[in-house]
Copies of this chain bind each other. A is one copy, B any other.
């Protein structure tokens, strides 16, 4: 199967995680993604190491986010470089950036300016908190976006302070939303250009506009975090503005009653999902919870019920309980860590591991390999598994100048 985005070219001015995570998905799906990077330093993520891990001069983090992309160096303050970038924009389908409000205007690569060069381009813009309001100049960083969106009050137990998620969730959700918006705008552009009434159900009645069919797609960390909490926020907005309250023990969802949570056993941990308490008490041989009316108290008395359950589960091993729970078809699972997961046949079955390599032809002249994970979706049974690693800074500048730029007169 031809990859769905084969032939689509994306210029990625984005740095760090949110924008480049969108670019990674577009690359997975077949797009040619060219990072436009500052000479010398490039995407700031090249120099942001987690756990002080580096591969071939770039942080392992950069490698993770930027596999399967090209790198073109351009100093946007240099008129010659800027002209070259404008020529690339003329030929591109998509561009993304996450500069702070005002920066692209100053450079002359804001959407209005870019439209004049290429009216068909899809222009993706990532901000921290939108383009107006008191947080416009607040740093658009993941932990801060978590902090201002209320997320920390949903995890951990009631006696804890706010517990952030130990991963860049705002960046990643925002990146997925950017990819959705870009893809939707590509669908719209194609239909606007070549609409012929093939959409059967509402055939011909759509009024899809013709002509200038590019689009500007805007996402922000804040809006993505609000969307992510749509359950909790809708509950808050329709329930007398009562803030979510975590359970005292085994909290796993502020709006769900017992048994929903993770519990310690004699030797490890066990997760028990939603379900009636009677059959659970039966399966676990826990008479204290085997009362007729207990399900009516599942939410209101969740702390007491969870405490009883916790005490009971500590008396036997995870295996012991899982056998009983599986036999009763109760929704539960052992809790695993990376050591167990990555050796597990179920992990092997989804074949998520992916090896990527920098070729010997790169500027550094050495072959390096990184093991990472692949695109999480399949189309027609195909897993998208390009083995191309993240680019050396500027690795593709010369080739792009000789091909995409040589063919055209460079207009200032």
Contacts and interface: CB of A to CB of B under 8 A. Distances in A.
20 contacts: A4-B184, A29-B180, A50-B255, A51-B255, A133-B349, A138-B333, A141-B273, A143-B261, A144-B271, A149-B336, A150-B337, A161-B269, A164-B262, A166-B244, A176-B177, A186-B187, A187-B190, A218-B379, A226-B350, A230-B373
Contacts of A187: 4-5, 8, 183, 186-187, 190
A51 B235 contact: yes
A377 B339 contact: no
A336 B165 CA distance: 15
Q: Report which residue of A142, A205, A339, A379 has the largest number of chain B beta carbons within 10 angstroms of its beta carbon.
A: A379
Given A60-B234, A167-B253, A133 B345 contact: yes
Interface string A227-271: 111111111111101011010000111111000111010000101
B178 A176 contact: no
A184 B185 CA distance: 11
This chain's copy number in the assembly: 2
Interface residues of A, number: 162
Interface stretch (A77-85, A97-105, A192-200, A282-290): A192-200
Interface in A88-106: 90-93
Contact of A299 (B51, B65, B334): B51
A252 B373 contact: no
